[in-house]
Structure 1
Amino acid sequence: MPHRTVNLHLVSDSTGETLNSIARATLARFEDIRVIHHRWSLVRSRLQLDRVLEGIEHEPGPVLFTLVDRSLRHALEEACARLNLACLSPLDGVMDLLQSTIGATAREKRAAQHVMDADYFRRIDAMHYVLSHDDGQGTAGIAEADVCLVGVSRSSKTPTCFYLANRGIKAANVPIVPGAALPPELESPPCPVVGLHIEVNALIDIRRHRLRLIGAAGVRQDANDYIDHEAVKSEIVAARRLCTARGWPVIDVTRRSIEETAATVLQLMEAWHARRHLAEARTEPSDPAATVLGHPS
């Protein structure tokens, strides 16, 4: 049972995603603490802030905030001081460091990270791409992909692709199905291909849960290759051997979160492009004029 309950107020003039991420990352390191999150987003006027202050006074607790408007920020800090509550803007230290390093003052612009710029539309485009190329759909479109994930059914390919799409990455995914050939586009893939591996027992548990969700409880689970231990083991081994034979790196997702898997995929993508650029540089003649003259250096 939790030993202590804490009210944590997250006050933002934008969506509050930054504060949510900071709170989640830091609170994960505490045990036996029950934290009640009070999320106050899009706080952009004094009237809205007054409602926040009423909530903080009613259920007091530490306050994390990201407010650009100086008058709102000052009012919040004064109220917290009066209530003897800790109040912190987590981005202040980072902002001070960058301003001193860059030698320029940051603009006072709320929700600057959520503007509808080219990066925003790239993320939306990537989302549409994932929807159109999920689970082996539209394999011809792999030529447009930034990365392709392969793996057995229920190895977290789809959620990883959607997470990558939120980073602006067009991620296709292709299932490795026993007895079925991979699409010809993967014979000479134009993008990095990454395999996702999962342990047998973990995969069987996920698949059984999937069968229950789709109303397949009547299927004899001990006779179904989809969840039969030996059949699943053979399926996983075959998929791993396929990736090894093709030279595709493999990530074990058994105990990884989607975020961790996606972060590793991004690292593998960077390594793939670095190797490709290095190979291209090695094939380029050091003196193009000498090559034209028939005397390569």
Structure 2
Amino acid sequence: MQQNTITLHLVSEATGQTLDAVARACIAQFPNTDVRLRHWNLIRSRLQLRRVLRHIALDRGPVMSSLTDPALQADMEAGCVSLQVRLLDVLDNAVTFLSEETGETATRHPGGQYIMDENYYQRIEAMHYVLAHDDGQETDDLNEADLVLVGVSRVSKTPTCFYLANRGIKAANVPLVMGIEPPPSLFTLKRPVIGLTIDPQTLIEIRRTRLSQMMPNSRHADPSADYAYIDLEKVQEELRWARRLCRHHNWPVIDVTRRSIEETSASILDLIAPQ
């Protein structure tokens, strides 16, 4: 099937993260269309908006907007009508819905979700914690963590910890290496320990890529040089050993093979949520 191509303009008064996430979630449902995103962030004046509209006129395409200022919203709507491009305000229906439910008039404050409150500083603290406790560092104070991830090399422990930190979760991660005893503190924790595992063949491909990136110009750049690290039989044995260890200590295990970091993190949050 021939692929369609469109330009989708995203116009936001703030950082554009919310709008980008909504757009990408929707775009994923249309695999036969190539959607080129144009981001227009921190648009808070009519002068800035007129500049955006000029660019839209040069590269026509539908517009998704998260503007909250009524005057800017009106100008956006008038501009899109004039250019004959479709406009969707992704926040307006939700804000109207909540206003009706709460009986409170929305403040229409740009970037209202980005405030330096207690939650903000909690996320910063969690990020610092992840940096200090990545890949088995500083294992003597793991009880300060909200949770600890364990698993063999390259099962996405580190990126998952950073994603959780952005949710305010202090997550440490400890690598499981056959032949090396895990730190004793891991077995006396009063915090959740969660294992990550993955399909052996998928893990081998990830490791091959990693080896090639680490040694791009070396005469040993051929990943086959690191035999045990990417040998199927060895990798299967490694993963089975890690699973047995987790089962022995009653640590739940999440298979990340077909999961994104976001999906893995959602499963972790479900596991640690109060019952």
Task: State the TM-score, normalized to the length of structure 2.
Answer: 0.95
Give, in angstroms, the shift of residue 223 of structure 1: 6.2
Out of 232, 240, 247, the position equivalent to 1:244 is 247
With over 3 angstroms needed to count, the CA separation of the structure-2 counterparts of 1:21 and 1:217, relative to structure 1, is: farther
For 1:147, the equivalent position in structure 2 comes to 147
Give, in angstroms, the shift of residue 264 of structure 1: 0.5
In structure 2, give the amino acid aligned to 1:236: L
Q: 3-state SS of the aligned residue for 1:221?
A: helix
Q: Answer yes or no: is the 8 Å Cα contact 2:254–2:264 preserved in 1.
A: yes
Out of 259, 267, 270, the position equivalent to 2:270 is 267
Provide Cα deviations, 1:71-98, integer angstroms capped at 9, x if missing partner: 1111110111122221111112221221
- In the alignment, the residues of structure 1 paired with residue 33 and residue 151 of structure 2 have an alpha-carbon distance, to the nearest angstrom, of 38
After TM superposition, the structure 1 stretch with the greater mean CA deviation from structure 2, 150-159 or 225-234, is 225-234
Q: Answer yes or no: is the 8 Å Cα contact 2:12–2:42 preserved in 1.
A: yes
In structure 2, give the amino acid aligned to 1:244: R
- In the alignment, the residues of structure 2 paired with residue 137 and residue 35 of structure 1 have an alpha-carbon distance, to the nearest angstrom, of 42
For 1:231, the equivalent position in structure 2 comes to 234
- In the alignment, the residues of structure 2 paired with residue 184 and residue 44 of structure 1 have an alpha-carbon distance, to the nearest angstrom, of 54
Structure 1 segments (4+ residues) deviating >2 Å: none
Unaligned 5+ residue runs, structure 2? none
Asked if 1:117 corresponds to 2:80, the answer is: no
1:141-220 alignment, distance < 5 Å: 141-215=141-215, 218=220
Give, in angstroms, the shift of residue 268 of structure 1: 0.6
Provide Cα deviations, 1:160-201, integer angstroms capped at 9, x if missing partner: 001111111111000011011122222122211110011111
CA RMSD of aligned residues (A): 1.5
Q: 3-state SS of the aligned residue for 2:76?
A: helix
Q: 3-state SS of the aligned residue for 2:195?
A: strand
Q: Answer yes or no: is the 8 Å Cα contact 1:145–1:171 preserved in 2.
A: yes
In structure 2, give the amino acid aligned to 1:269: I
In structure 2, give the amino acid aligned to 1:200: P
1:22-101 alignment, distance < 5 Å: 22-101=22-101
Task: Tell me the matched-pair count.
Answer: 272
With over 3 angstroms needed to count, the CA separation of the structure-2 counterparts of 1:217 and 1:95, relative to structure 1, is: farther
In structure 1, give the amino acid aligned to 2:133: H
Provide Cα deviations, 1:108-136, integer angstroms capped at 9, x if missing partner: 21101111111111111111111100000
Q: Answer yes or no: is the 8 Å Cα contact 2:147–2:192 preserved in 1.
A: yes
Q: Answer yes or no: is the 8 Å Cα contact 2:164–2:171 preserved in 1.
A: yes
Unaligned 5+ residue runs, structure 1? 275-297
Asked if 1:107 corresponds to 2:107, the answer is: yes
For 1:256, the equivalent position in structure 2 comes to 259
For 1:17, the equivalent position in structure 2 comes to 17
After TM superposition, the structure 1 stretch with the greater mean CA deviation from structure 2, 56-65 or 91-100, is 91-100
For 1:130, the equivalent position in structure 2 comes to 130
Q: 3-state SS of the aligned residue for 2:168?
A: coil
